[in-house]
Structure 1
């Protein structure tokens, strides 16, 4: 009976499929057990490493580094580096140097370089972070290669490590790269370069003369994020260009009254976004003669232009108390008066 059942090819296929599914289920169960056991071993190791090394690292932070340190076995290296990095995130200055002293004494620089060359993605990222905090220039070539890799997260952290090691050299070698890497979020790039603003400003100004338009917009946005001053002559050239995005980016950076005539000329631009930013720029650098110009912008057909013009007008640094209210009363345009009242009420509420 069994033989006749299994002789049927369909029943035989079903039988073998069931056996295969059972085998796969048992295999999956065994894999889950192994993974859980491995996870528990790692957790025990992490706790042991923290118990062993945290007191020593805390002593170093308290300006009492131990005269001798125990060996750092291979199996403890990764948990120790994670603990060391965790402490680094909460300290600066002399405390950071104390952690670095311990790191160098234990050979963390060599361990990090090995991770950079032989580790998996997570280990390479760990190596990058350790190298950056150690400011280890000996790993420059390895980090530079990672900074040009397509992996956005690792390459961005590699840029940070390069800036930590030698900001001037990093900007000289990486400025063209970071202005072309559109996968690097500008807020993150700006945060990395925050402590190297003066160095960045020098190389950024030089780069503006060589970039294509689409990369030039990114460069100007980075300059804005870092509060880098771009020479007025360069901005004036951009303000008279045909690229709308470049004109807007240049208007956002306009801080010098030398640019007043160039900014005023953009108030009549056919693109309403340009008129918005021209109005905002006048609010920063305009003089008394710009009050009628901004009043005229209150009649623009675009609501955002009227709104930003009203904000600029009310926020002019020389605008005295009561003058804005007088402008409302004197306005013959109901929509302009309503916009001024709206902005004044916002300022009072704020």
Structure 2
């Protein structure tokens, strides 16, 4: 029995020693590879900086031929993020003549999630049928973040399918992603109708509808003002708040009636957005309602009401001063704070 115990101990000890040796070897190899990659990154950066100064295309092509595509994809595009205009375009053109586009398309299919997202993003530098086809295929990727990244890149290349089709491909779980807002806001003006259709979809996701309204407001297209007013009365507070924010951003006086009606909403976010919109539009008729909101139970609503009273002008400032000298209350404290901010400025 003792013999078997000693034998087992020797086997376990030998196994532990072997595992330790393997780990040490792997660590050494990893450090050597890391050191080699750092040298190549510095060489790449030096070449890119030199090219941006002298434009020696052949010299840069020679260096790119020596450096693994993975390093060029990661470090090269990190450098490109610092550039704009013709200078960036010249380097992208050189990258396009290397094996980098093919590498990015392959990694979009086979890399880990972060690599697939990055590959989808950098393919916008290589327009063409091959890149578009790879990105369309990525709309069926197992990761919703990759699907969204592919959608944004397809839009940048002018090849995005119908928006409703894209949203269906992204899937319901991806429709709460902040990146979806990036997609909506990057859509060209001639696709605003698709945004409006999603905003008006009563059975759609409130987040998607609100994001569509937000993107519409950035177009500064008053053709959709009537529809946005309707959305400001939507039963979803998220949608109504986004619509009121859009109305305030438009600054159009025709929206005054809708904003005034929303100041009495039962949802505090809707009241806050309505209060801010009243100030941006300059609705003098809102002074009485805004003065009442100085005592609202939500701090954000009180502060928005006070700021808007100041923005409205003389009648709003008079209401603030009158409230500030009343007996101590939430309204009085809010009005005093808003007035003191003006003095501090």
* TM-score, reference length from structure 1: 0.78
1:135–1:161 contact (8 Å) kept in structure 2: no
Question: 2:333 aligns to what?
Answer: 338
Q: Which residue of 2 aligns with 1:5?
A: 2
Correspondences of 1:286-297 after superposition (within 5 Å): 286-297=282-293
Matched, 1:65 2:21: no
Provide the C-alpha distance between the structure 2 equivalents of 1:337 and 1:194, rounded to a whole number of angstroms: 40
The within-5 A match list for 1:217-296 is 217-221=207-211, 223-224=213-214, 227-229=218-220, 231-255=224-248, 256-296=252-292
**Does structure 1 retain, via aligned residues, the 8 Å contact 2:51–2:57?**
yes
Considering only CA atoms, is the larger Rg found in Structure 1 or Structure 2?
Answer: 1
Equivalent pairs counted in the alignment come to 338
Q: What corresponds to 2:135 in structure 1?
A: 143
Which residues of structure 1 form unaligned runs of 5+?
7-11
SS of the residue aligned with 1:90?
coil
Structure 2 unmatched runs, 5+: none
Q: Are the equivalent residues in 1 in contact too, given 2:107–2:115 (CA < 8 A)?
A: yes
8 Å CA contact retained: 2:253, 2:281: yes
* Matches of 1:117 and 1:227, distance apart in 2: 34
> What does the per-residue CA deviation read over 1:205-228, in whole Å, with 9 as the maximum and x for residues that have no partner?
232234624x24433245436734
Q: Is the 8 A contact 1:133 1:164 kept in 2?
A: no
| 1:1-350 → structure 2 map (5 Å cutoff) | 5-6=2-3, 12=4, 15=6, 18-50=9-41, 52-67=43-58, 69-70=61-62, 76-121=68-113, 123-166=115-158, 174=166, 180=172, 182=174, 185-186=177-178, 188-191=179-182, 196=187, 198=189, 201-210=192-201, 212-213=203-204, 215-221=205-211, 223-224=213-214, 227-229=218-220, 231-255=224-248, 256-300=252-296, 304-316=300-312, 318-319=313-314, 323=318, 326-328=321-323, 335-349=330-344
Specify whether residues 181 and 44 from structure 1 end up closer, same or farther in structure 2 by C-alpha distance, changes over 3 A only: same
Taking the aligned partners of 1:311 and 1:49, their CA distance within structure 2 comes to 55
User: How far, CA to CA, are the matches of 1:286 and 1:303 in structure 2?
Assistant: 22
- Is contact 2:229–2:258 with CA below 8 Å preserved after alignment? yes
How far off is 1:153 after superposition?
4.2
- Secondary structure of 2:218's match? coil
Q: Secondary structure at the match of 2:62?
A: coil
**Aligned position for 1:9:** none
Counterpart Cα distance in 2 of 1:125 and 1:241? 35
Q: Secondary structure at the match of 1:315?
A: helix
Contact kept? 2:199, 2:209, Cα under 8 Å: yes
Contact 2:326 2:332 in 1 (8 A): yes
Q: Which deviates more, 253-262 or 19-28?
A: 19-28
Question: TM-score of the superposition, structure 2-length normalised?
Answer: 0.79
In 2, Cα distance between the equivalents of 1:288 and 1:320? 7
Q: How far did 1:313 drift?
A: 0.9
Indicate if the aligned counterparts of 2:45 and 2:79 stay in contact, CA closer than 8 A: no
